[in-house]
Amino acid sequence: MMRAWKILGAVLVALVLCMVFGGGWAEAQVLTMKFAHFADDKHPGHLAALQFAAAVQERTKGQIKIDIFPNNMLGSPPEQAEQVKMGTTDMGLPTQGQFDKWIKAMGVVMLPFAYDDYDHVHRVLDGPAFQWFSQMAEKEGFILLSNWEYGFRNLTNNKRPINTPEDVKGLKVRVPPEMQIGAAFEALSAQTTVIAFPELYMALAQGVADGEDNPVSVIYFMKFYEVQKHLALTRHIYNNMIHTISAKTWAKLTPEQKTIFQEESKKAGAFMRNQIMSQEEDLVTKMQQAGMQVTRPNLALFRAAMKPAYDKIFKYVGEENGKKYSEFIEAARKK
Confidence of residue 7 (pLDDT cuts 50, 70, 90): very low
Q: How far is residue 120's CA from residue 126's CA, in Å, rounded to a whole number? A: 10
pLDDT of residue 9: 52
Q: How far is residue 92's CA from residue 220's CA, in Å, rounded to a whole number? A: 22
Residue of 192, 178, 118 lying closest to 150 (CA atoms): 118
- Domains and their CATH numbers in the chain: 30-149+241-278 (3.40.190.170), 152-238+282-333 (3.40.190.170)
The DSSP result for 222-281, as a single string, is: TTGGGS-SEEE-----EE--EEEEEHHHHTTS-HHHHHHHHHHHHHHHHHHHHHHHHHHH
- The per-residue pLDDT for range 262-301, each reduced to its tens digit, is 999 999 999 999 999 999 999 999 999 999 999 999 999 9
CB 231 within 8 A of CB 156: yes
- The per-residue pLDDT for range 14-41, each reduced to its tens digit, is 444 444 444 443 444 899 999 999 999 9
Residue of 94, 74, 105 lying closest to 147 (CA atoms): 94
pLDDT of residue 79: 95
Q: How far is residue 134's CA from residue 140's CA, in Å, rounded to a whole number? A: 10
Through-space distance between the first and last CA atoms of the chain, rounded to whole angstroms = 80
Q: How far is residue 95's CA from residue 92's CA, in Å, rounded to a whole number? A: 10
pLDDT of residue 183: 97
Confidence of residue 335 (pLDDT cuts 50, 70, 90): low
- The per-residue pLDDT for range 258-268, each reduced to its tens digit, is 999 999 999 99
CB 252 within 8 A of CB 31: yes
Confidence of residue 81 (pLDDT cuts 50, 70, 90): very high
Q: Is the pLDDT of residue 203 over 90?
A: yes
pLDDT of residue 334: 74
Q: How far is residue 88's CA from residue 91's CA, in Å, rounded to a whole number? A: 9
The pTM (predicted TM-score) of the whole model is 0.85
Residues 318-324, mean pLDDT to the nearest whole number: 96
